[in-house]
Chain A
Amino acid sequence: MTTATVAAASPTRRRRWVPRFALSVPSWVWYLFFFVIPIGYIVFYSFGYKPGLLEGGGTIATDKLSLANYGDAFDETFLTVFRRTLEVAVLGTLLCLLIAFPLSYWLATKVAPKWRGLLLALVIVPFWTSFLVRTLAWRIVLAQDGFLSNLLVDVGIRDSQLSLLDTRTAVQIGVVYNYLPLMIFPLFVALDRLDPALREASKDLGAGRLKTFTQVTVPLAMPGLVAGLLLVFIPLAGDYITASVLGGAAGNMAGALVATQFLQNQNWALGSAMAIVLIGTILVALLVAAALGLLGRTLIRRRRSVEVVVST
């Protein structure tokens, strides 16, 4: 409003003003050139094929386009790896949520404000250390003859040494560790913005702790919760570094299959098709989650509205 009136009142300045999106032009160009076009190429290449040695060899040919790669992409090994990737990603995201919610809630509501900054900084520190190094570090922590393993045996918590490395459990621990901060930050911000008076009001109106939590705190923290789920699930589903460092043979993830096609097999067409399937799977998973969320909300609302009718 103000901008418009000021600009209209001083036509001399108006003339010098360039289009409104001028400052974003560098980004437009950059994103078009280094994001939109490359992704377009992946889609295009996914319909191509790997030329045989007789046809001159190489990584990609696009003179005949077909859907053959998508047929190959859905073979049995690929589907097994995909299912495992989805399981690890979904379980990892849920575990992150289960760990992050109580912690964020504690940080936002129970900790004295003067300690809050320091504790938040402590959550940030691991996040700022090298992803690869902290993943590799779990090989030290979980080592069969390592400090932790022997300590657990000595104290008597376990009868035998840990044998977690190169298993699915190690991968699961690794991904939860690596993506946990991404769940904590948005949840903390959402819970921190929540006015304590709202919880007090709920209690004063007779709601118990559980009811206040499920009907006031959780719904109001929903934007942070959704942001956290997205921030964790999407990169986790595409991540293969954690799994290949900690999982050994059990750690083959969908992202690794794509990487193998590009870096070892030199079959760019099949690799591109797999990448497209990966994106598609992530999108479908998100849509299913969104649908479930909406369904749950409608059901809760319906139940609540019945309650109101009964009580009046």
Chain B
Amino acid sequence: MTATVAVPHRRRRPDGVRIALTVFSTLVFVFLFLPIVFVIAHSFTDSNAWLVWDGFSTRWYGRLFDNENLKQVIRNSLKVAFFSTIIATVLGTLAGVALARRPGKWTTPFLVIVFLILVTPEIVDAIGFLIWFVEIGSVFSDGIGPFTGGEVRLWVGQSLFSSAVVTLIVRARLAGFDESLEEAAADLGATPARVFRQITLPLIFPAVLAGALLAFTFSLDNTIIASFVSISGSSTLPVYIFSSVRSVPKPDIGAAATLMFALTIVALALVALVLRRSGESTEQVAATLTGG
């Protein structure tokens, strides 16, 4: 009733608010993409400085593969991101399931800690890690097995924040489902481990995947904690870029950034596709990807 009355009424006059909002939003999108367009464009500069445009050339993409330092830090970054993602995802998934399915007196203090982790400025975490790693030494100075102490520090340092994020995403996802499926499986004689593997895990899979992707990107992106805890040889791409900012950044950084950007888009698209397949609506996919 309301709709049939309201629609013709609103159609009659041109909607100024709608037009203004559309124009404004378009401008915001321009603002959002302006720097990205420039990053990609300038990775094709012929100049020796990334920030200066001097004609078109693809030579910096070739140079990228000759720069041993840059290759090394990219490798370090990917390796650290891989391990810290595993840590964050495992911790976050377990804790998220526990929060959604086994709440109790422990929930409030736990959530307080998670919240504090989320709101602590990164610089504070960074100095805390530095102090603590120096204090306890051992694996954080000598490393374990093939991994150096610097790497282990980075795994730990970069998984803290993401594990809290994964915890909340998984909890939110599982809280949306009734526990009856798990109970039914248990009543039919499934062991807790089997219930977890065959019922709980498939239910929370989209959240785990989105959380892992977030954790991976956070880790690739992390500058502050990485510059405090990394030891020479284990430093990562953002630390390398940040130190080059003080001098003149070379365009191969832009080339590396463009390739990473392409990689991120592919990863995002893949995850969105997987989530779509598992029956999520576009908005749910977007909400999950942004941790909502």
Which residues of A are at the interface with B, using a C-beta cutoff of 8 A?
2-3, 6, 10, 13, 16-17, 20-24, 26-28, 30-31, 34-39, 41-42, 45, 99, 102-103, 105-107, 110, 116-134, 136-141, 143, 146-148, 177, 180-181, 185-186, 189, 192, 197, 200-201, 203-204, 209, 230, 234-235, 237-241, 244-245, 255, 258-259, 262-263, 268, 271-272, 275, 278-279, 282
Contact = CB atoms under 8 A, between A and B. Distances in A.
Given A24-B98, A140-B51, A177-B31, A130 B242 contact: no
Nearest to A259: B123
A148 B35 CA distance: 11
B273 to A, nearest CB: 12
Give the residue among B28, B38, B132 with the most A Cβ atoms within 10 A. B38
B169 interface: no
B56 to A, nearest CB: 14
Given A102-B25, A116-B282, A123 B127 contact: no
Contacts of A245: 242, 245
Contact of B91 (A3, A27, A134): A27
A56 to B, nearest CB: 16
B121 A132 contact: no
Nearest to B32: A126
B160 A34 contact: yes
Interface of B: 2-3, 6, 17-18, 21-22, 24-25, 28-29, 31-36, 38-39, 42, 50-51, 53, 90-92, 94-95, 97-99, 102-104, 106, 110, 113-114, 116-117, 119-132, 135, 156, 160, 163, 167, 179-180, 183, 186-187, 192, 217, 220-221, 223-224, 227-228, 237-238, 241-242, 245, 249, 253-254, 257, 260-261, 264-265, 268, 272, 282-283, 285-287, 289-292
Given A35-B117, A186-B292, A237-B121, A130 B160 contact: no
Given A26-B91, A39-B120, 15 more contacts: A2-B183, A3-B183, A31-B117, A39-B128, A102-B24, A103-B28, A123-B29, A124-B290, A130-B241, A136-B50, A140-B39, A197-B2, A241-B223, A271-B127, A279-B124
A106 B38 CA distance: 27
B17 A34 contact: no
B115 to A, nearest CB: 10
B25 A106 contact: yes
A143 B228 CA distance: 30
Contacts of B268: 121, 124-125, 128
A211 B4 CA distance: 23
A57 to B, nearest CB: 15
B91 A30 contact: yes
B32 A130 contact: no
A27 B264 contact: no
30 contacts: A2-B180, A2-B183, A6-B187, A21-B98, A21-B104, A24-B106, A26-B95, A34-B132, A34-B156, A35-B125, A37-B132, A39-B128, A99-B28, A102-B25, A107-B25, A117-B283, A120-B283, A120-B286, A123-B29, A124-B289, A127-B290, A130-B238, A140-B39, A177-B32, A177-B35, A189-B292, A234-B121, A258-B123, A272-B131, A282-B121
Give the residue among A110, A126, A128, A238 with the most B Cβ atoms within 10 A. A128
B179 A3 contact: yes
Nearest to B135: A41
A272 B126 CA distance: 11
Given A27-B110, A35-B113, A275-B127, A116 B283 contact: yes
A241 B290 CA distance: 23
A202 to B, nearest CB: 11
A201 B1 CA distance: 12
A213 to B, nearest CB: 10
B22 A38 contact: no
A24 B94 contact: yes
Nearest to A240: B123
A199 B38 CA distance: 41
Contacts of B104: 20-21
Given A107-B25, A278-B123, A139 B51 contact: yes
Contacts of B289: 124
Given A21-B104, A39-B128, A136-B241, A262 B286 contact: no
Contact of B29 (A28, A122, A244): A122
B242 A241 contact: yes
Contacts of A239: 121-122
A293 B120 CA distance: 22
A200 B6 contact: yes
Contacts of B254: 133
Contacts of B42: 140
A279 to B, nearest CB: 6
Contacts of B130: 262
A37 to B, nearest CB: 6
Contacts of B187: 6, 10
A38 B121 contact: no
Given A203-B6, A259-B123, A124 B286 contact: yes
